[in-house]
A and B are shown apart, each in its own frame.
Chain A
Amino acid sequence: MEKTNGGDIFLKPKICVLKSDGTNCDEELYYAFEKVGGDPELVHINEVRNKNVRFKDFQVIAFPGGFSYGDDIASGKILAVEMVSFLKEELENFRAKNGVIIGICNGFQTLIRTGLLPFGSLGKMDATLAPNDSGHFECRWVRLKKEKVNKCKFLQGDENIGWFAVNHGEGKLFAGNETIKTIEQSGLVVFRYVDENNRPTQKYPNNPNGSINAIAGICDPKGLVFGMMPHPEKFVDLTQYPNWRREKIEKPHGLFIFENIVKFARVAK
């Protein structure tokens, strides 16, 4: 860390890739952050619970995909209960410092169930990620559009369309009408599933789970907590994408998300 007049600069922001029992997308998430110049560390939640590791030493906390505690009861539920029961203060202090929190797939499910998404209300659930309308787990690639207008501090910039892997059984964003309205009107929607014509879609399998308004990723009103069901970390190298042999890919489609997070986290707010 270097001190400047404007604030702290972290040339290699520290990223806590938080594991629990059943996390299984941690290594590729670690790799994605490392690739774009972050300084990731794999941390087991027990190390945070026993205070060997503190969130305050990181600029980013990242919740990877997987099946935390087997996704028993509901996906991400047991981990969410654990976070709220034991790490509420740690998390609140981290948020007070304007730290970045992201969750992918099971990580997103966990963030929703802690209440951090959509409205940043730790301990109070406002939305849920329900079982896919297809009734089963889906492993396929879908196209996403990043909204031009959204609140996420590190995902500003032009509309952007790309391919992303989805691997989940419970990814349908669901909430009451009022909640959805608030999410939409506050600009919390960051990513949507789109069809061949780049229009948000409810049609299976382009929208793989039946998510309301084709919502695939959202942020909190402060724009510092972000979660999405698809897996950007699975497309940071060209060859990770199934059709790299036949399509022209300028740059792996998931990469910009990690670049932006790391760029943003370099400058402490």
Chain B
Amino acid sequence: MIQKVRVITKVGPDLKGIDILSDIHKMLGLKKVDKVISIKVYRLEGATEKQAKILAKQLLCEQINQSYSINKPFSHLPGSHLGGVAIDSAGVTIEIAYKPGVMNPEAASVLKAAKDLGIKLLAADSSYEYAFFGSITKEEIIKIVEKLKLYNPLIEHIVIEESKTLLIKGQPGKTNIIHIRDCSDKQLMEFSKDKLFLNLEEMKTIQKYFQKIKRDPTDVELETLAQTWSEHSGHKTFKADLIVDGKQKAPLIYRIKTEALKHKKNIVSAFEDNSGVMDFYDGWAINGKGETHNAPSSIEPYGGAMTGSGGVFRDVLATGQGAKNVISTDVFCFAPPEYPSKNLPAGTLPPLYLLKRVVAGVRDYGNRVGIPTSNGSVHFHQDFRARPTVLVGAYGIIPKKYAQKGKPELGDLIVVIGGKTGRDGIHGATFSSGEMTERTINVNSTAVQIGNAIEEKRVFDAILEARDNDLIRALQDCGGGGFSSSIGEIGESLGVTINLEKAPLKYPGLSPWEMWVSESQERMIIVLQKKNLRRFLRICEKYNVEASVIGKFDGSKKLNIYLEREKVCDLSMEFLHKGLPKKVLVARQETGNRKKSDTPPIPKNEGEWIHVLEKVLSHGNVCSKESIVRLYDHTVQGTSALPPFTGIKQDSPNDAVVIRPILDKPYGMIVSHGLNPVLNNIDPYWGSLWAATEAVANYAAVGGDYQEASLIENFIWPFPDEQSLWSLDQSVDAVVDFMKVLKIPVISGKDSLSSTYRGSAGVIKIPPVLCISVFGKLADVTKTISLDFKKVGSTIVLLGKQDLEMGGSTYFDVNGVLGDQVPKVDLKLLPEVLSTLHKAIKLRSILAAHDISEGGLITAIFEMCLGGRMGAELHLEGVKAHLRGNFLFNETAGCFIVEVKNEKMAEKLFRNLPYKIIGKTTSQFSISANGLFEADIKKLEKKWKKPMEEIFS
């Protein structure tokens, strides 16, 4: 019997209800709904009604401001609501719950607390009921609920029928033999489609292998091969030999690694572990990693963002013998929130919904696991309508003596800890390697799930304590590809025997192949020496972490998987890891002349100047993201030394984050990033250099020494057809050249090459994105600076060499022009500019600095003025009249606005470099550009803050 407890807010605002009502009024313009009330619903299985009452009183309902009702709707609304109108008579109610099988993290908490109160439940669930009031029918309400996307049908449903039990039953499926030896090519591909995502050559390689060993594969074996050989796990494009415009070139990854390993000074490990590790101070190392989670986020943004975050955090955790996460970062690209829904390609979700739900997912996961989310950016471009980019970065700290994984030895145990295995996330790795089509949203629903941040936090706590007790030999995160990926990788050298029945399941009924490739979250694989097992299990128990030995290293050089006594997989590690045929790929530059682009008209008067400035400041790529950032906890762990926002009202955005990861030491860790999705479409080589320079400039603007930094690359590219592969090749060349110039390495990277949409609307190539992240060390955090202007009467300096090209700039964009030439960074000058700035900050000769990026020079000055609540008087005498727009809005990366005491100081610091004295700070709260305009900063501030405030406040 299920007892149903409803809980309602009786005093004080019902925030959920008010929110929905305001959306109905504002977004749908429907005035006939007068009120919405939210009701929390708990279902308790295995309790008597009396027990349900005890739980309602002591656990589920706080009677100070809430009321409860057991097994029936509220007959009257208590307290201040609608003056006591009965809900069931006046309102239409709709209940939204997770679908059976989707993990609801709250259910476990209800079970635990009930047990603590002496009541043992068989199962529990929680959901929300909404009561709508007004002259409106149930059918209309359902339409409203769907229009507002109050639920995502992939994971949630409107409850229509009460189910008799919350328990999920099922008979385990069998392992099937797949008869592929006699298949035709067509049959092979039919089998691969929507499931294995392998191409014909790969399918034929598998077919030949099994013909050779004279048997057909099991489904477990095929799934294992498909997962290991997927683009997501195998990075086939990056490993392929290339022919670019007829000339042979080395594989992309080879070029990156070769150059990176020339700059070894700080490298502890690069491209070998789950994240890149570099040296820190006093026997510590720091590590970092960035990963996209675009595919799941495109169909279930909340769960996608959560599991994306959780996965990267586990990558940082699964570095060496276990690292502690200390920073997370988030970079998103969406179509503009106001993009009309009617123009969206079939099978995609509206960008506003994606933006809100992705932010909510990052908030609810990152805040709960207790990692400060302190750096990131949001970009908008209409071509992201077909698939957003959601890139999460994570950074950690680890004692250097634990920074390398131990080598597993014969007899070592394989232990799975953390979450249980369910059907969720099946085919995530293969799915994300596929392109997005109209079918994606329907066929691949099991690829999404909701994360459980607290499970992950428990796992963090247990692993770090086990590490400090020298118990861990090696560890792997169960991310894309699940056990198949983590155990397949870790077992490559020795071979393993796995007993699948030992893995704890969320519910019965999984087939062996499903257990093997399931991507259920919050699971880790730990390699232990047998003698350490007892102590390890005791630590797990202390932290309420479930741990099960599921296999061991057996020396067979094979992947042996059993379910009870049945052998379901018998694959040679050699074939699994080396059998994938190396690709040879052709890349070619699209020929045909690009149209020469127009240039926008120069503003004619003060009004026009201010108008264009306001348009730039309110552009999605430039406007304030504060209302998003304040939803994320960036002070947890107490390490902050430079937060996302500083200044008198703490509302001006810094270029990078600085933390002190060891609380009683002054050592700083700095993290920044750079990307520009527009420029790569015009010029992938110089666009990528812009992104890399922007990342390092952000790092230098706060006082970082780039020579003590490492880089992380993330390539998020359309499917590598000849043209896209050509631009990818250009981008990789840019990254390699950048390493050469700065003499610092990329130490971690990831590619995601599926940003192409194919549907009835045609083919949409999502803009190619290179995101470069920078992280590094600094001996003393007090030698860093913030961007806010500090003093009235200071000298404002432009440091660095502008290239007055404006292609891809925000200024061009608000004028409806793309441009054909992007600003080129002067790579010869760059190292000197960066190190001069660093040295000057170290000497405390600089009051404030800000890197110039989207929105250009004038935007940088605006943000600095805002922070100091003061103004700026700019002198443009040296700039030709027709170039003043280009000058003020120029976005050349590697240029800085710097505040120094006086002109003499500027001369002293920068005399060997290109620099310009462009003005002074003033006590007037306005920006004046002599003769052109004087803009009231208060008005600009409003324009700059409004776009995101409207969405998030």
Question: In the complex, are the beta carbons of B112 and A139 less than 8 A apart?
Answer: no
Whether, in the assembled complex, B840 has its beta carbon less than 8 Å from a beta carbon of chain A, the answer is no
Question: In the complex, are the beta carbons of B786 and A245 less than 8 A apart?
Answer: yes
Whether, in the assembled complex, A125 has its beta carbon less than 8 Å from a beta carbon of chain B, the answer is yes
Question: In the complex, are the beta carbons of A246 and B790 less than 8 A apart?
Answer: yes
- For B63, what are the chain A residues with a Cβ–Cβ distance below 8 Å? 125
Q: List A205-261 residues whose CB lies under 8 Å from chain B.
A: 231, 233-234, 236-237, 239-240, 242-243, 245-246
Interface string of B60-100 (1 = CB under 8 A from A): 10111100000000000000000000000000000000000
C-alpha gap A133/B105 in the complex (Å): 25
Q: Point out which of B11, B541, B638 has the most chain A C-beta atoms below 10 A from its C-beta.
A: B638
Question: In the complex, are the beta carbons of B457 and A139 less than 8 A apart?
Answer: no
Question: In the complex, are the beta carbons of A21 and B64 less than 8 A apart?
Answer: no
Question: In the complex, are the beta carbons of B643 and A137 less than 8 A apart?
Answer: no
Whether, in the assembled complex, B226 has its beta carbon less than 8 Å from a beta carbon of chain A, the answer is no
Specify which of B452, B632, B790, B868 is in contact with A139 (CB 8 Å cutoff).
B632
Whether, in the assembled complex, B707 has its beta carbon less than 8 Å from a beta carbon of chain A, the answer is no
Q: Which residue of chain A lies nearest to B643 when distances are taken between CB atoms in the complex?
A: A242
Give the segment of A62-70, A150-158, A183-191 that binds chain B: A62-70
Specify which of A23, A24, A71, A239 is in contact with B641 (CB 8 Å cutoff).
A239
- For A174, what are the chain B residues with a Cβ–Cβ distance below 8 Å? 11-12, 64-65
Given contacts A85-B117, A125-B64, A245-B646, contact A78 B638 (CB under 8 A): no
- For B645, what are the chain A residues with a Cβ–Cβ distance below 8 Å? 242
Q: Kindly provide the distance from the CB of A146 to the nearest chain B CB, expressed in whole angstroms.
A: 21
- For B544, what are the chain A residues with a Cβ–Cβ distance below 8 Å? 21, 46
Whether, in the assembled complex, B630 has its beta carbon less than 8 Å from a beta carbon of chain A, the answer is yes
- For A24, what are the chain B residues with a Cβ–Cβ distance below 8 Å? 368-370, 457, 636-637
Whether, in the assembled complex, B59 has its beta carbon less than 8 Å from a beta carbon of chain A, the answer is yes
C-alpha gap A245/B642 in the complex (Å): 10
- For A22, what are the chain B residues with a Cβ–Cβ distance below 8 Å? 368, 453-454, 457-458
Q: Kindly provide the distance from the CB of B540 to the nearest chain A CB, expressed in whole angstroms.
A: 11
- For A56, what are the chain B residues with a Cβ–Cβ distance below 8 Å? none
Q: Kindly provide the distance from the CB of A192 to the nearest chain B CB, expressed in whole angstroms.
A: 19
Question: In the complex, are the beta carbons of A139 and B635 less than 8 A apart?
Answer: yes
Q: Point out which of A21, A28, A138 has the most chain B C-beta atoms below 10 A from its C-beta.
A: A21
Q: List A46-102 residues whose CB lies under 8 Å from chain B.
A: 46-47, 65-67, 69-74, 77-78, 81-82, 85-86
Given contacts A67-B367, A133-B13, A246-B786, contact A72 B110 (CB under 8 A): yes
Specify which of B13, B368, B660, B788 is in contact with A239 (CB 8 Å cutoff).
B660
- For A9, what are the chain B residues with a Cβ–Cβ distance below 8 Å? none
- For B543, what are the chain A residues with a Cβ–Cβ distance below 8 Å? 21, 44, 46
- For B637, what are the chain A residues with a Cβ–Cβ distance below 8 Å? 24-25, 27-28
Whether, in the assembled complex, A136 has its beta carbon less than 8 Å from a beta carbon of chain B, the answer is yes
Whether, in the assembled complex, A167 has its beta carbon less than 8 Å from a beta carbon of chain B, the answer is yes
C-alpha gap A135/B58 in the complex (Å): 25
Whether, in the assembled complex, A264 has its beta carbon less than 8 Å from a beta carbon of chain B, the answer is no
Question: In the complex, are the beta carbons of B454 and A21 less than 8 A apart?
Answer: yes
Whether, in the assembled complex, A107 has its beta carbon less than 8 Å from a beta carbon of chain B, the answer is no
Question: In the complex, are the beta carbons of B117 and A81 less than 8 A apart?
Answer: yes
C-alpha gap A236/B660 in the complex (Å): 13
- For A167, what are the chain B residues with a Cβ–Cβ distance below 8 Å? 367, 633, 635-636
Whether, in the assembled complex, A176 has its beta carbon less than 8 Å from a beta carbon of chain B, the answer is yes
Specify which of A172, A234, A242 is in contact with B650 (CB 8 Å cutoff).
A242
Question: In the complex, are the beta carbons of A73 and B113 less than 8 A apart?
Answer: yes
C-alpha gap A136/B75 in the complex (Å): 30
Whether, in the assembled complex, B781 has its beta carbon less than 8 Å from a beta carbon of chain A, the answer is yes
Question: In the complex, are the beta carbons of B785 and A245 less than 8 A apart?
Answer: yes
Specify which of A19, A67, A234 is in contact with B638 (CB 8 Å cutoff).
A234
Q: List A163-185 residues whose CB lies under 8 Å from chain B.
A: 165, 167, 172, 174-176
- For A21, what are the chain B residues with a Cβ–Cβ distance below 8 Å? 454, 457-458, 543-544
C-alpha gap A237/B781 in the complex (Å): 12
Whether, in the assembled complex, A140 has its beta carbon less than 8 Å from a beta carbon of chain B, the answer is yes
Question: In the complex, are the beta carbons of B663 and A139 less than 8 A apart?
Answer: no
Q: Point out which of A19, A69, A72 has the most chain B C-beta atoms below 10 A from its C-beta.
A: A72
Q: Which residue of chain B lies nearest to A86 when distances are taken between CB atoms in the complex?
A: B116
Q: Which residue of chain B lies nearest to A166 when distances are taken between CB atoms in the complex?
A: B635
Q: Which residue of chain B lies nearest to A247 when distances are taken between CB atoms in the complex?
A: B648
Specify which of B13, B452, B630, B660 is in contact with A138 (CB 8 Å cutoff).
B630
Which secondary structure dominates where chain B touches chain A? mixed
Given contacts A69-B454, A85-B116, contact A135 B15 (CB under 8 A): yes
Whether, in the assembled complex, B343 has its beta carbon less than 8 Å from a beta carbon of chain A, the answer is no
Whether, in the assembled complex, B184 has its beta carbon less than 8 Å from a beta carbon of chain A, the answer is no
Q: List A11-29 residues whose CB lies under 8 Å from chain B.
A: 19, 21-25, 27-28
Question: In the complex, are the beta carbons of A31 and B453 less than 8 A apart?
Answer: no
Q: Kindly provide the distance from the CB of A116 to the nearest chain B CB, expressed in whole angstroms.
A: 15
Whether, in the assembled complex, A130 has its beta carbon less than 8 Å from a beta carbon of chain B, the answer is yes
C-alpha gap A126/B64 in the complex (Å): 7
Question: In the complex, are the beta carbons of A28 and B638 less than 8 A apart?
Answer: yes
- For B640, what are the chain A residues with a Cβ–Cβ distance below 8 Å? 234, 239-240, 242
- For B930, what are the chain A residues with a Cβ–Cβ distance below 8 Å? none
Q: Kindly provide the distance from the CB of A62 to the nearest chain B CB, expressed in whole angstroms.
A: 14
Interface string of A104-115 (1 = CB under 8 A from B): 000000000100
Question: In the complex, are the beta carbons of A81 and B370 less than 8 A apart?
Answer: no
Q: Kindly provide the distance from the CB of B492 to the nearest chain A CB, expressed in whole angstroms.
A: 34
Q: Which residue of chain B lies nearest to A238 when distances are taken between CB atoms in the complex?
A: B782
- For B457, what are the chain A residues with a Cβ–Cβ distance below 8 Å? 21-22, 24
- For A176, what are the chain B residues with a Cβ–Cβ distance below 8 Å? 64
Question: In the complex, are the beta carbons of A81 and B59 less than 8 A apart?
Answer: yes
Given contacts A125-B64, A175-B64, A245-B646, contact A78 B112 (CB under 8 A): yes
Q: List B629-663 residues whose CB lies under 8 Å from chain A.
A: 629-643, 645-648, 650, 660, 663
Question: In the complex, are the beta carbons of A243 and B646 less than 8 A apart?
Answer: yes
Whether, in the assembled complex, B342 has its beta carbon less than 8 Å from a beta carbon of chain A, the answer is no
Specify which of B541, B636, B646 is in contact with A242 (CB 8 Å cutoff).
B646
Whether, in the assembled complex, B912 has its beta carbon less than 8 Å from a beta carbon of chain A, the answer is no
Question: In the complex, are the beta carbons of A140 and B650 less than 8 A apart?
Answer: yes
Whether, in the assembled complex, B109 has its beta carbon less than 8 Å from a beta carbon of chain A, the answer is yes
C-alpha gap A127/B62 in the complex (Å): 9
- For A237, what are the chain B residues with a Cβ–Cβ distance below 8 Å? 660, 663
Q: Kindly provide the distance from the CB of B741 to the nearest chain A CB, expressed in whole angstroms.
A: 31
Question: In the complex, are the beta carbons of A82 and B113 less than 8 A apart?
Answer: yes
Whether, in the assembled complex, B606 has its beta carbon less than 8 Å from a beta carbon of chain A, the answer is no
C-alpha gap A191/B268 in the complex (Å): 47
- For B953, what are the chain A residues with a Cβ–Cβ distance below 8 Å? 134
Whether, in the assembled complex, B427 has its beta carbon less than 8 Å from a beta carbon of chain A, the answer is no
Whether, in the assembled complex, B664 has its beta carbon less than 8 Å from a beta carbon of chain A, the answer is yes
Q: Kindly provide the distance from the CB of A31 to the nearest chain B CB, expressed in whole angstroms.
A: 4
Given contacts A69-B109, A70-B105, contact A28 B58 (CB under 8 A): no
Question: In the complex, are the beta carbons of B65 and A47 less than 8 A apart?
Answer: no
Question: In the complex, are the beta carbons of A128 and B62 less than 8 A apart?
Answer: yes
Q: Kindly provide the distance from the CB of A231 to the nearest chain B CB, expressed in whole angstroms.
A: 7
- For A242, what are the chain B residues with a Cβ–Cβ distance below 8 Å? 640, 642-643, 645-646, 650, 786
Interface string of B930-953 (1 = CB under 8 A from A): 000000000000000000000011
- For A246, what are the chain B residues with a Cβ–Cβ distance below 8 Å? 646-648, 786, 788, 790, 868
Question: In the complex, are the beta carbons of B635 and A81 less than 8 A apart?
Answer: no
Q: Which residue of chain B lies nearest to A179 when distances are taken between CB atoms in the complex?
A: B64
Q: Kindly provide the distance from the CB of B915 to the nearest chain A CB, expressed in whole angstroms.
A: 23
Question: In the complex, are the beta carbons of A130 and B65 less than 8 A apart?
Answer: yes
Whether, in the assembled complex, B19 has its beta carbon less than 8 Å from a beta carbon of chain A, the answer is yes
C-alpha gap A72/B663 in the complex (Å): 30
**11 chain-A/chain-B pairs, Cβ below 8 angstroms:** A21-B454, A24-B637, A69-B113, A70-B453, A70-B454, A81-B116, A126-B64, A137-B631, A139-B630, A139-B635, A174-B12
Q: 14 other contacts beyond A128-B65, A242-B640, with CB at 8 A cut-off? A: A21-B543, A21-B544, A25-B636, A67-B367, A70-B109, A77-B59, A81-B58, A131-B15, A139-B630, A139-B635, A165-B635, A234-B638, A237-B660, A245-B646
Q: Which residues from chain B sit less than 8 Å from chain A, CB to CB?
A: 11-13, 15, 18-19, 58-60, 62-65, 105-106, 109-110, 112-113, 116-118, 126, 363, 367-370, 452-454, 457-458, 461, 541-544, 629-643, 645-648, 650, 660, 663-664, 781-782, 785-786, 788, 790, 868, 952-953
